[in-house]
């Protein structure tokens, strides 16, 4: 089986290798003269002045010149004219001037009865000083030719493999685009009439396509690559695990790089440059290959890093998904750079080079420093550093990345522009992203540049009591953001005007001047806390300030085309869910059943949002469940006590029957009852698995359920695992197309 596989691979590889070799041989027709030159390079001649310039001395030597022309006559006779012309131009470029354009002149100098046929690869022969015309054996010539040919041949592979990565990326992007277009049409079709879902009895449940889809969603599309953690990090907080689809993409990419790094080298013992040293040949080629592959990878590295990115626009991938690939490309390109540097260093040491000699060369020193800056970027981007000192991480990241690019420009200066294009591609991608950022800021906030305060910031309670900050930003032009959109906010009148943080748009309203963008955030330790402090310092509950907005980013999840929608939020993740709540409550024909489950620990926070953003007037037709988890010792009644009476008051009957009024207070406000909104506040944790199973069991016929979640990592991972488990073809499990899980995490 394995032998057959290898044979098949070899059979497939052979024509490719032959094709490559054909390209090379056509490209280097007339390279035969180099074979002759390499052979003569091994020998000493009595009339060569070794203290003079290499080519000048050989051009002046009768024995060397007659031997060279005789070699061309013997081994390159099929292609003599071209070879002689190449030989001449080579001597002209490197020597003091052209040789005689007429080879006959050298033939006339040759004593044909006094030519020695010798083995130029023999150490004994190489020690002799020759005073006559000599010729190596056919085997010598073949070896010398192969020695020379291997450089252009390997270079063809180097570049072919480099482009191979782009072909891979192109294929992945194409799949992403097709997926996106298909998804769009299928949602449009389904959105047309949810009622039809009942009619379409699940007749084709057993079809191969449906089964495949179920299998795909259960085993590939949904779960984490291994174990159950995806949003939570593993390995003491240092690593994150991709989903399985992402892992497949990463695996293919890494495997391809690995194969490309070590494939298709021709090393042989009789190589004339490194006789008997196949290791030196190999590492010399690997050094070139890894250097080139690393360069080819750089534009990919940048392409996966930008906020404004053609890749994202084409495929609709999430920024966090692209960020995952950004990290993997970075790891691969850095390892390649390290191998490139190490292999060249080892190679130079084999040739008795010293460190001082090496560092004296600009390309060498800049190359080493570029490898160092690239290598530093990896540990400095580990998750704990990003979590603890995000701004420090970001500044170092930008500085080191820019330094790497500059150093690399100097590193490849000796290649006279051959490799500059890859660096310019990185510069271009970077500049494009920045430019679009400024255009976005300019469009949305240009009036703020004119010194106008465009933002009202409110703090609901006091600093540090779990209170929320609400920002209402007046945009300079009208904008129509879709649910799920997020913006980066800058505070230009602060000590760090460049600092910007992403926030999901909770809601928006058109005004005469533009659009009012409403953000809601829970202050953390950094910039968000500074804003909260600023409001608190203003003495009242609100203050005016200037905020620049950059956006919108992110993608809409088409939850509205499902018959059932389950929105799950944890803590401040509620902001991400709010736009969907408004969309679904407002939609003329909203899905049959929409449930919002919000797990929150802080009673202040919960009641604040419930009396404003989630007030019954905003949640028509939606079942709202709030779970007050007990970590902070808060209970359902703590939340209800803080709510205004018209929204809710403790329902005594329910608490009486429960015996303990804090256990599970069920409440429906008078106002809420009118428009069909219900609100229940529970004490204790919401169990994600039970929630998913309960809603999956509600599905009838061909009905489908969309689950959208935003919250802490553990909560998201629980839902993801529960959804994967819910799929199946057995009794009690659901079809692959019956549940769709969408996730918005506050981080990457």
Ligand X SMILES: *[C@@H]1O[C@H](CO)[C@@H](O)[C@H](O)[C@H]1NC(C)=O
Ligand Y SMILES: Cc1cc2nc3c(=O)[nH]c(=O)nc-3n(C[C@H](O)[C@H](O)[C@H](O)COP(=O)(O)OP(=O)(O)OC[C@H]3O[C@@H](n4cnc5c(N)ncnc54)[C@H](O)[C@@H]3O)c2cc1C
Instruction: Catalogue the E-assigned strands of 112-159.
Output: 116-118, 129-130, 134-136
Q: Are 738 and 696 in contact (CB under 8 A)?
A: yes
CB atoms within 10 A of CB 638: 19
Strands 622-628 and 678-683, sheet pairing: parallel
460: contact with ligand X by CB under 6 A: no
Helix axes 319-350, 362-377, angle to 10 degrees: 140
Block residue for tokens 């009202």: 456
Residue from 510, 460, 508, 465 nearest 485 by CA: 508
Q: Which stretch binds ligand X (CB under 6 A): 125-133, 216-224, 402-410, 700-708?
A: 125-133
| Binding-residue pattern over the window 476 to 505 for ligand X, x denoting contact by CB under 6 A | ------------------------------
Please state the closest distance from residue 233 (CB atom) to ligand Y, in A: 11
Please state the closest distance from residue 96 (CB atom) to ligand X, in A: 11
Q: How many residues bind ligand Y (CB under 6 A)?
A: 21
572: contact with ligand Y by CB under 6 A: yes
Block residue for tokens 């709540």: 581
Q: Pick one of ligand X, ligand Y, none as the site partner of residue 575 (Cβ within 5 to 8 A by kind).
A: ligand Y
307: contact with ligand Y by CB under 6 A: no
Q: Are 601 and 571 in contact (CB under 8 A)?
A: yes
Q: How many residues bind ligand X (CB under 6 A)?
A: 19
3-state secondary structure labels for all residues of 268-311:
CCCCCCCCCCHHHHHHHHHHHHHHHHHHHHHHHHHHCCCCCCHH
Residues facing residue 596 across a β-bridge = 567, 624
Please state the closest distance from residue 387 (CB atom) to ligand Y, in A: 4
Residue by residue, DSSP assigns 304-350 as: TT-SS-HHHHHH---HHHHHHHHHHHHHHHHHHHHHHHHHHHHHHHH
Q: Pick one of ligand Y, ligand X, none as the site partner of residue 283 (Cβ within 5 to 8 A by kind).
A: none
Phi, psi angle pair for 12, to nearest 5°:
-75, -35
Q: Which stretch binds ligand Y (CB under 6 A): 11-19, 154-162, 524-532, 701-709?
A: 524-532
Block residue for tokens 């005004």: 511
Q: Are 568 and 715 in contact (CB under 8 A)?
A: yes
| Binding-residue pattern over the window 132 to 151 for ligand Y, x denoting contact by CB under 6 A | --------------------
Please say which residue, 68 or 134, places its beta carbon nearer to ligand X: 134
Phi, psi angle pair for 613, to nearest 5°:
-60, -40
Residue from 732, 743, 730, 724 nearest 694 by CA: 732
Rounded distance, CA 435 to CA 320, Å? 21
502: contact with ligand Y by CB under 6 A: yes
Q: Are 639 and 681 in contact (CB under 8 A)?
A: yes
| Residue closest to ligand X (Cβ) | 466
524: contact with ligand Y by CB under 6 A: yes
Q: Are 667 and 680 in contact (CB under 8 A)?
A: yes
| Binding-residue pattern over the window 619 to 638 for ligand X, x denoting contact by CB under 6 A | -------------x-x---x
* From 243, 404, 561, 602, residue interacting with ligand X (rule: CB under 6 A): 602
Please state the closest distance from residue 234 (CB atom) to ligand X, in A: 27
Please state the closest distance from residue 486 (CB atom) to ligand Y, in A: 4
Rounded distance, CA 530 to CA 541, Å? 15
* From 272, 405, 527, 721, residue interacting with ligand Y (rule: CB under 6 A): 527
Block residue for tokens 């027709």: 29
Residue from 578, 520, 573, 579 nearest 712 by CA: 573
Rounded distance, CA 35 to CA 136, Å? 11
Residue from 205, 188, 180 nearest 733 by CA: 205
* From 45, 161, 260, 521, residue interacting with ligand Y (rule: CB under 6 A): 521
Sign of the C-alpha dihedral computed for residues 483, 488, 492 and 493 taken in this order: positive
Block residue for tokens 């192109």: 170
503: contact with ligand Y by CB under 6 A: yes
First to last CA, the chain: 43
Phi-psi region at 730: left, alpha or beta (left = phi > 0; alpha = psi -120 to 50)? beta
Q: Which stretch binds ligand X (CB under 6 A): 101-109, 240-248, 370-378, 459-467?
A: 459-467
Q: Pick one of ligand Y, ligand X, none as the site partner of residue 529 (Cβ within 5 to 8 A by kind).
A: ligand Y
Q: Pick one of ligand Y, ligand X, none as the site partner of residue 334 (Cβ within 5 to 8 A by kind).
A: none
Strands 134-136 and 116-118, sheet pairing: parallel
Q: Pick one of ligand X, ligand Y, none as the site partner of residue 502 (Cβ within 5 to 8 A by kind).
A: ligand Y
Report 51-110 residues binding ligand X (CB under 6 A): 51-52
| Binding-residue pattern over the window 383 to 422 for ligand Y, x denoting contact by CB under 6 A | ---xx--x--------------------------------
Please say which residue, 160 or 536, places its beta carbon nearer to ligand Y: 536
Q: Pick one of ligand Y, ligand X, none as the site partner of residue 632 (Cβ within 5 to 8 A by kind).
A: ligand X
Q: Pick one of ligand Y, ligand X, none as the site partner of residue 111 (Cβ within 5 to 8 A by kind).
A: ligand X
Rounded distance, CA 184 to CA 176, Å? 12
Please say which residue, 70 or 486, places its beta carbon nearer to ligand Y: 486
Q: Give the helix/strand (H/E) hosting 597.
A: strand 593-600
Q: Pick one of ligand X, ligand Y, none as the site partner of residue 390 (Cβ within 5 to 8 A by kind).
A: ligand Y
Query: Tell me, what DSSP letter sits at residue 730?
Result: S
| Binding-residue pattern over the window 498 to 537 for ligand X, x denoting contact by CB under 6 A | ----------------------------------------
Residue from 635, 629, 676 nearest 658 by CA: 635
Please state the closest distance from residue 682 (CB atom) to ligand X, in A: 16
Q: Are 323 and 305 in contact (CB under 8 A)?
A: yes
598: contact with ligand Y by CB under 6 A: no
129: contact with ligand X by CB under 6 A: yes
Please state the closest distance from residue 568 (CB atom) to ligand Y, in A: 16
On the question of a cis peptide bond just before residue 554, with omega within 30 degrees of 0, the verdict is: no
Please say which residue, 11 or 525, places its beta carbon nearer to ligand Y: 525
Q: Pick one of ligand X, ligand Y, none as the site partner of residue 114 (Cβ within 5 to 8 A by kind).
A: ligand X
Please state the closest distance from residue 125 (CB atom) to ligand X, in A: 10
* From 30, 461, 526, 684, residue interacting with ligand Y (rule: CB under 6 A): 526
697: contact with ligand X by CB under 6 A: no
Report 22-51 residues binding ligand X (CB under 6 A): 46, 49, 51
501: contact with ligand Y by CB under 6 A: yes
Helix axes 362-377, 390-411, angle to 10 degrees: 160
* From 114, 513, 641, 652, residue interacting with ligand X (rule: CB under 6 A): 114
Please say which residue, 466 or 570, places its beta carbon nearer to ligand X: 466
Please state the closest distance from residue 385 (CB atom) to ligand Y, in A: 9
Q: Give the helix/strand (H/E) hosting 75.
A: helix 62-75
Please state the closest distance from residue 279 (CB atom) to ligand Y, in A: 45
Residues in the chain: 748
Q: Pick one of ligand Y, ligand X, none as the site partner of residue 34 (Cβ within 5 to 8 A by kind).
A: none
Please say which residue, 269 or 524, places its beta carbon nearer to ligand Y: 524
708: contact with ligand Y by CB under 6 A: no
Which tokens in the block code for residue 330? 């970075």
Q: Pick one of ligand X, ligand Y, none as the site partner of residue 602 (Cβ within 5 to 8 A by kind).
A: ligand X
**Contacts with ligand X, residue ranges (CB under 6 A):** 46, 49, 51-52, 111, 113-114, 128-129, 131, 464-466, 602-604, 632, 634, 638
**Contacts with ligand Y, residue ranges (CB under 6 A):** 386-387, 390, 486, 501-504, 520-522, 524-529, 572, 575, 746-747
């Amino acid at each position: 089986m394995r032998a057959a596989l290898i044979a098949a691979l070899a059979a497939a590889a052979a024509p490719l290798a032959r094709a490559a070799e054909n390209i090379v041989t056509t490209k280097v027709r007339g390279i035969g003269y180099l074979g002759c030159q390499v052979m003569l390079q091994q020998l000493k001649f009595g009339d060569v002045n070794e203290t003079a310039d290499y080519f000048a001395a050989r051009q002046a030597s009768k024995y060397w010149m007659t031997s060279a022309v005789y070699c061309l006559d013997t081994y390159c006779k099929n292609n003599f004219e071209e070879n002689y012309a190449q030989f001449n131009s080579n001597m002209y470029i490197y020597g003091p001037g052209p040789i005689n354009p007429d080879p006959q002149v050298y033939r006339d100098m040759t004593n044909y009865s006094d030519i020695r046929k010798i083995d130029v690869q023999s150490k004994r022969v190489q020690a002799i000083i020759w005073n006559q015309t000599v010729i190596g054996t056919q085997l010598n010539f073949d070896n010398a030719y192969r020695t020379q040919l291997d450089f252009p041949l390997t270079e063809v592979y180097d570049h072919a493999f480099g482009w191979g990565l782009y072909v891979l990326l192109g294929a992945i992007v194409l799949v992403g685009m097709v997926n996106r277009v298909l998804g769009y049409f299928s949602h449009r079709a389904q959105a047309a009439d949810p009622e039809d879902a009942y009619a379409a009895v699940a007749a084709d449940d057993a079809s191969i396509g449906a089964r495949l889809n179920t299998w795909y969603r259960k085993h590939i599309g949904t779960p984490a690559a291994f174990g159950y953690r995806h949003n939570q990090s593993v390995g003491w907080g240092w690593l994150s695990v991709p989903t399985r689809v992402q892992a497949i993409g990463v695996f293919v990419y890494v495997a391809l790089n690995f194969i490309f790094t070590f494939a298709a080298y021709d090393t042989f013992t009789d190589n004339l440059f490194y006789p008997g040293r196949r290791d030196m040949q190999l590492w010399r080629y690997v050094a070139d290959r890894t250097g080139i592959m690393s360069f080819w990878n750089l534009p990919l590295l940048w392409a996966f890093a930008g906020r404004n990115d053609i890749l994202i626009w084409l495929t609709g991938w999430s920024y966090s998904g692209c960020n995952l690939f950004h990290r993997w490309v970075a790891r691969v390109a850095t390892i390649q750079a390290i191998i490139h540097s190490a292999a060249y260093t080892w190679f130079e040491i084999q040739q008795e080079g010293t460190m001082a000699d090496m560092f004296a060369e600009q390309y060498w020193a800049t190359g080493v420093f570029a490898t160092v800056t690239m290598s530093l970027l990896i540990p400095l981007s580990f998750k704990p550093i990003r979590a603890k000192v995000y701004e420090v991480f970001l500044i170092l990241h930008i500085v080191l990345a820019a330094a790497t690019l500059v150093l690399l420009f100097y590193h490849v200066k000796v290649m006279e522009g051959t490799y500059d294009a890859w660096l310019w591609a990185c510069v271009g991608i970077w500049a494009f992203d920045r430019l679009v950022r400024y255009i976005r800021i300019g469009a949305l906030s240009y009036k703020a540049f004119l010194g106008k305060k465009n933002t009202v910031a409110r703090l609901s309670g006091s600093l540090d009591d779990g209170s929320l900050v609400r920002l209402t930003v007046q945009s300079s032009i009208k904008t129509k953001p879709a649910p799920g959109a997020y913006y980066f906010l800058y505070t230009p009148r602060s000590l760090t005007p460049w600092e910007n943080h992403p926030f999901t748009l909770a809601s928006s309203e058109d005004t005469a001047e533009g659009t009012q963008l409403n953000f809601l955030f829970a202050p953390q330790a950094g910039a968000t806390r500074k804003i909260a402090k600023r409001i608190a310092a203003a003495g009242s509950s609100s203050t005016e300030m200037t905020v620049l907005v950059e956006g919108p980013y992110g993608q809409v999840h088409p939850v509205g085309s499902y018959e059932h929608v389950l929105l799950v939020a944890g803590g401040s993740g509620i902001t991400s869910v709010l736009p969907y709540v408004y969309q679904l409550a407002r939609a003329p024909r909203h899905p049959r059943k929409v449930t919002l489950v919000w797990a929150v620990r802080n009673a202040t926070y919960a009641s604040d949002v419930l009396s404003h953003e989630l007030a019954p007037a905003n949640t028509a037709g939606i079942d709202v469940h709030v779970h007050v988890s007990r970590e902070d010792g808060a209970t359902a009644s703590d939340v209800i006590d803080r709510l205004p009476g018209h929204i809710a008051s403790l329902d005594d009957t329910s608490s009486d029957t429960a015996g303990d009024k804090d256990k599970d207070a069920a409440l429906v406000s008078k106002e809420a009852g009118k428009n069909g909104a219900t609100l229940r506040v529970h004490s204790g944790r919401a169990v994600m698995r039970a929630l998913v199973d309960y809603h999956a069991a509600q599905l009838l016929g061909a009905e489908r359920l969309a689950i959208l979640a935003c919250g802490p990592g553990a909560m998201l991972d629980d839902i993801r695992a529960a959804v994967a488990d819910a799929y199946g073809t057995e009794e009690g499990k659901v079809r692959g197309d019956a549940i769709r899980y969408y996730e918005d995490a506050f981080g990457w």
